[in-house]
Amino acid sequence: MFLVLITSSRAPGMGEPVDRRISLEHFLATTETNVSLEKWESFLTRVGSKKNQFKDDRQFLEFIFYRTHQVFLKRYSETTSFDEIFTQGFYNCLSGTILYSVILNHFGIEHDVIETNYHIFILAQTSKGEVLLEATDAVDGFVTSADKIQERIEQYQQNQIRNENRYQFSFDLFNKVSEEELIGLLYYNYAVESFNQQNLKKTVHYLSLASERYATARIEEFSEMLLWAVSLEDNLDPAEKQSLKKQLQIIRYKALPAVVRL
């Protein structure tokens, strides 16, 4: 589930590839799974070797987009962790977008990662103009037409949710997201998944990690809801409830400035 989300993930202009492997490892560190990067490193090498075959950077970016889907983004799953891209081919809008951002950074392609209430996408800059990358659309997710880009952005800004059972936020987001903030969004999604599994302790743990990297209005609103959930939970003893409530109050305090800015 992607309840909430993004700032700028800028890289140098098209030029020599930039080594961003540490960045990928930071995202993988949000899970406890050991992932072999041999396939990843081979992918970057093969893609880079084909760069000069394209007449411009937009064509190269298009090749990156579709090749990444073929190799890594094989099966969409709303609830998945970042490491599952490499272990099972599972991805969602957040993890897929992060993977593209890491690849674009590696090849020095300037771009912004943009978050709305329930979605996240990339706007990349090329010598032929702006390109929108939609990680969850393997067929038509590479958008170059200015009119179609604007049409998609307007759809994202409507913040419509298909599932009526999902939580509806009281605010509208349309932000650029930094690399560090993307890590925060991963932790936020893990918190949401833990909440849906009725694991309040793990929910608060992940939400705390999220707030350390990206304290947003989404986190403030979610933590307020969690305070009620903790209060009503019969399977927690008084000491556990008090501890979780204290953690949630700290989380809310960190996120309040983001609420004020809305």
Tokens in use for 110? 């300037």
pTM of the model: 0.86
Tokens in use for 100? 């593209």
Strand, coil or helix: 77: coil
pLDDT at 214: 92
Q: Could you give the CA distance from residue 244 to residue 236 in angstroms, rounded to a whole number? A: 10
Over residues 230-261, the pLDDT tens digits come to: 999 999 999 999 999 999 999 999 887 776 56
Phi, psi of 200 (to 5 degrees): -70, -35
Give Cβ neighbours of residue 229 (< 8 Å, ≥ 6 apart). 195, 200
Q: Could you give the CA distance from residue 22 to residue 262 in angstroms, rounded to a whole number? A: 33
Q: Could you give the CA distance from residue 262 to residue 249 in angstroms, rounded to a whole number? A: 20
Tokens in use for 235? 């399977």
Give Cβ neighbours of residue 232 (< 8 Å, ≥ 6 apart). none
**Buried b / exposed e along 119-147 (16+ C-beta atoms within 10 A):** bbbbbbbbeeeebbbbbbbbeebbbeeee
pLDDT at 116: 87
pLDDT at 259: 65
Over residues 185-212, the pLDDT tens digits come to: 999 999 999 999 999 999 999 999 999 9
Short-list 38, 37, 60, CA closest to 107 = 60
Instruction: Chunk the chain into consecutive blocks of 10 residues (it has 262) and report each block's average pLDDT, rounded to whole numbers.
Output: 34 38 81 91 97 97 98 95 96 97 96 91 98 97 97 82 51 84 96 95 97 91 94 94 96 80 60
CB 96 within 8 A of CB 102: no
Residue boundaries of the structural domains of the chain? 21-157, 198-261
User: Which residue has 């099972």 as its token pair?
Assistant: 88
Strand, coil or helix: 78: coil
